Structure 1
Amino acid sequence: MSKHAPSGHSRATLTKAQKFSIAGVATLGAAALAFSIVPGSSQTEATQTEALGAHAAAWSVPAKTQQAVHESVSKQHANADKQAKDAAAKKKAEDEAAAKKKVEDDRKAKETASRAAARKPVYANNLDGWIRQSLDIMKSKGIPGSYEGLHRNIMRESTGNPNAINGWDINAQKGTPSIGLLQVIQPTFSAYHVDGTSTNIYDPVANITAAANYAAHRYGSIDNVNGAY
C-alpha cells in the first residue's frame, strides 16, 4: 500500500525568497531572449545601449533645464522692468528739468525786458528832447557831435522850428528847398538818413540825425559847422 502525502500539501510551498529568485531569473531570461532575437554586432549593441542612455537622459534633463529657463526668463523680465522704470524716471527728471529751465528763462527774459524798459530814456517832445534823442542815436551809430554843436546850428538854421522851409535860396530855386531844424534838402536827407529814424524829413529827430551824419562825412562833425553848409 503506497503512502500518500498529507491532504493540501501535494506541492512544496515556495518561500518568499524563492519567488523573488524565480522572478529575477524570468526577467533575465526575457531580456536575454529579446537581445537574442535581434541579431547584430557589438556595434549595434553599443548603439542600443547609447539609445537607452539618451532616452533616459531625455527624461532626466528637462526638469533642470526648465528650472534654468524659468530663472533666466524671470531675470530678463526683472531687468526689463528695471530698465523701463529707470527710463521713465530719467525722462521724468529731464522733463522736470526742462520745465524748470523754461520757467527760469522766462523769468530772466521778463526781468531783462523790465530793466531795459526802465533804462530806456523818455525824451521830451521839444527841442531839448529832440537833440538829446538824436545824440543817443548818433552815439549808437558812431556819428560825432555834441549838444552844443547841434543846438547852435539848429538855432541859426531854423530857430528851432521843425517845419521851417527856405523858399528863396539856391536850393529852393532848383526845386529842392531846405527843410526842417537843420535845413536839409531831400536828396541829402535820403542819402544820409540813419536807420531807426523816421523817413519823414520833417521829423525833428530824423532831420537832426541825418544832417549830423552828412556833416560828419563832409566836415568831420557838426561841431565844425559854423555857417551855412
Structure 2
Amino acid sequence: MPAQAKHRRPRTSPFARGLAAVGTGGAVLALPFIAATAAEAAPSAQKDSPATYSVVAGDSLSKIAAAHSVSGGWKKLYEDNREAIGGNPALIRPGLELTLGAPSEGAAQAEPAAPQTPATAPAEQGTAPATAENASADTSGTVTQADAKTYTDDLDGWIKESLDIMAAQGIPGSYDGIYRNIMRESSGNPAAINNWDSNAAAGTPSKGLLQVIDPTFQAYHVPGTSTDSFDPVANITAACNYAADRYGSIDNVNGPY
C-alpha cells in the first residue's frame, strides 16, 4: 500500500495526443485525365463536398489530421466521425472511411500522399502477422482487412493495451516499469482501495492498480479510456501520464510516488 501523504495531486493539465490504429493498408489507383476540361472541373467538385480519407495501417487520428491540415486537429476529426469510429479513438480500423472536414487556413492545396503501408504488421500474442498471405479474400476478389488488435482480460493484457495507448499519446513507460509499480501498489488487484492513509482521511482514497486518487485521475485522464478510475487500462494510463509529468516516466518511480 502507498505511504502517507504521497503525491496524487494534479499539477498540470493532462496531455492531449493522438491515438493509433493497426492492421493492413490498401493500394491507390491513379487514373489519367481524359481532357483538360475534366482536370479543370475537379478542384471545384472537391470543394463542393467534404473530403474523405480511407484509413491504412500505421495511421492515427492525429497523424491523419496533421497530414490533411484538418481544422481543429484530431479532436475535431474524431468528433466528425464518432459514429463510425466508436467509443475508443485509439482503435481506428484500416479501411475505415473518415470525413476530413475543412482544412486549416493556409493549408497547402495539394492532397498529401497516403502514408506508406508496411508489408507486415507486428504479430500479437496468439495471432499471426497481418499480411496479404493470411488475409481472407471474398468472392469478388477483394481482400478483407485484418481484425483490430485485441487484448487478454488480465494484468498482461491491461498493461499491453495501456502501452499501445501511451505510445499513440507519446507517454513514456515500459512493461517492466508498469508491472513493478503495480505489484508494489496493489499486487495486481484492480479493485484495490486504500481507506486508511491521509488521502483517504481527506476523502480521496487511492484506487485501482496504481492507486490513483480521483483528482489526479481526472487531471491526467487520457482521452479514449474509461472515466472509471477502477478501470485497469484507464487507471494505468492516467497514472503513467501523471508519472511522466512529475518524474519523466513511470520507469523512474521506485517507491510511493
In the TM superposition, what whole-angstrom CA distance separates every residue of 1:51-85 from its partner, at most 9, and x where no partner exists? xxxxxxxxxxxxxxxxxxxxxxxxxxxxxxxxxxx
Q: Give the aligned partner of residue 220 of structure 1.
A: 248
- Structure 1 distance, partners of 2:213, 2:165, is 21
Moved beyond 2 Å, runs of 4+: 108-117
The alignment partner of 1:165 has SS state of coil
In the TM superposition, what whole-angstrom CA distance separates every residue of 1:95-114 from its partner, at most 9, and x where no partner exists? xxxxxxxxxxx9x9599856
Q: Give the aligned partner of residue 186 of structure 1.
A: 214
**AA at the equivalent of 2:198:** I
Aligned residues: 128
Aligned equivalent of 1:130, options 158, 170, 174: 158
Q: Give the aligned partner of residue 169 of structure 1.
A: 197
The 1:153/1:119 distance shift into structure 2, 3 A limit, reads same
Which runs of 5 or more structure 2 residues have no equivalent in the other structure? Answer: 1-36, 39-51, 58-92, 97-144
Post-superposition offset of 1:152:
0.3
The 1:115/1:173 distance shift into structure 2, 3 A limit, reads same
- Structure 1 distance, partners of 2:161, 2:247, is 22
- Structure 2 distance, partners of 1:143, 1:110, is 23
The 1:141/1:111 distance shift into structure 2, 3 A limit, reads closer
Please give the TM-score of this superposition, normalised by the length of structure 1.
0.51
Post-superposition offset of 1:172:
0.6
- Structure 2 distance, partners of 1:182, 1:111, is 34
Q: Give the aligned partner of residue 238 of structure 2.
A: 210
Cα RMSD, aligned residues only: 2.7
- Structure 1 distance, partners of 2:94, 2:249, is 35
Q: Give the aligned partner of residue 22 of structure 1.
A: none
**AA at the equivalent of 1:227:** G
Q: Give the aligned partner of residue 155 of structure 1.
A: 183
Please give the TM-score of this superposition, normalised by the length of structure 2.
0.45
In the TM superposition, what whole-angstrom CA distance separates every residue of 1:158-192 from its partner, at most 9, and x where no partner exists? 01111000011110111100000000000000000
The 1:150/1:173 distance shift into structure 2, 3 A limit, reads same
The structure, 1 or 2, with the larger RCO (C-alpha pairs under 8 Å, 6+ apart) is: 2
Structure (1/2) with the larger helix percentage: 1
- Structure 1 distance, partners of 2:241, 2:197, is 22
- Structure 2 distance, partners of 1:149, 1:192, is 18
- Structure 2 distance, partners of 1:157, 1:183, is 6
For residues 74-85 of structure 1, what are the structure 2 equivalents within 5 Å? none
State the identity %.
65
- Structure 2 distance, partners of 1:228, 1:167, is 16
Alignment partner of 1:144 is 2:144:
no
Which runs of 5 or more structure 1 residues have no equivalent in the other structure? Answer: 1-89, 92-105
Post-superposition offset of 1:120:
2.4
- Structure 2 distance, partners of 1:111, 1:170, is 49
The alignment partner of 2:181 has SS state of helix
For residues 20-59 of structure 1, what are the structure 2 equivalents within 5 Å? none
